[in-house]
Amino acid sequence: PGRRAWAALEGARASIARAVAASPSEVVLTSGGTEACNLGVLGLAGGRPGRVITTSIEHPAVEAAIGVLRARGFEVVVLDVLDGRAPRPEELAEAITDDTRLIAMQWINHETGTTLPVDAYAQLARERSVPFFVDATQALGKVEVSFHAVGAAAMAIASHKIGGPAGAGALLLARGSELAPQVVGGAQERGLRAGTPDVISIVGFGAACEDVPARLAAAASIAELRDRLARFTDGVGAPVNGVGGPRVSTVLNVSFAGWRASTLVAAFDIEGLAVASGAACSSGVDRPSAVVRAMYPDEPIRAASSIRFSLGPETTPAEIDSAIEISARVLARPAA
């Protein structure tokens, strides 16, 4: 039974590696994207304080890990992503100093779909011999991901972002990159992540990775559905957030001025439309979107009223029509 479980685990590891053009030996299995991000940030930074460079729109899994480094004495430099425009490589180059210990940035923003040029950032990091961590949890299945082509020291991915079970993820770790384990007490994952693996969830992750090419092939049709919804929101005067640069097709983030985001989420929910007002991990927290606030610091109303519509290969034209009908019905009521 142990050999069968091991074979299933290693088969899944190989599938995960293929999905991101990596080697199975570069895949460190984790309990999900949050742990992978924590391991990448804290594990690559090392123990000697120095400078850490990041952006103003990172997922809480990265932002909080960087907060831990700040508390340990690291200097944190935050690059702006105003209007959804990614920091220029020149801005990153100017921020890198001789004592920079880590650069940690996301590939695709989790709320607006904004895309950052991580390959250009990775090249700068390599030239300056600085470890570069990429949060690619939102990139897998939405854009072509090649770990080797990007050239980062480490990259986090997650199962549930591609239709696999929640509770499984991975940190891709390039050969030669030093990583301090954050979960200790066992020799699993070559000593980099202790703990008995959740074989069932990891096998599910591997199976979902086999379906990544089909998800990528659906991107154009998903974009058409997103744009149909965007034409409606534009017609009611709701601006799209994060349009200053490239975006993926699976997210539409808009602000409905006059409405409180949490109220609108509840109203849509009652009507049968599932939307969000921020990252999934902040569900139940009633506060303006930190991402939209960072993108539009001079327009606080945008963050307070921002709603995220999420689409995927399973989304149908009929569902978009229904979303438009429900939105029109709710928005016709007095704003609250």
Q: Which residues are catalytic?
A: 281
| Cα–Cα distance measured from residue 29 to residue 181, given in angstroms and rounded to the nearest whole number | 12
| Token couple for 237 | 């005067």
Would you tell me how many other CB atoms lie within 10 Å of the CB of residue 25? 11
- Segments in 72-157 forming alpha helices (H): 89-95, 118-127, 147-150
SS3 250: coil
DSSP string, 290-322: HHHHHH-TT-HHHHHTEEEEE--TT--HHHHHH
Q: Which of 22, 237, 227 is nearest to 113 (CA)?
A: 227
SS3 137: coil
Q: Are 311 and 225 in contact (CB under 8 A)?
A: yes
| Cα–Cα distance measured from residue 39 to residue 28, given in angstroms and rounded to the nearest whole number | 10
Beta-carbon contacts of residue 213 (< 8 Å; ≥ 6 apart): none
Q: Are 330 and 267 in contact (CB under 8 A)?
A: yes
Q: What is the DSSP letter of 182?
A: S
Beta-carbon contacts of residue 319 (< 8 Å; ≥ 6 apart): none
| Cα–Cα distance measured from residue 83 to residue 52, given in angstroms and rounded to the nearest whole number | 23
| Cα–Cα distance measured from residue 83 to residue 96, given in angstroms and rounded to the nearest whole number | 24
Amino acid, single-letter form, for residue 61: A
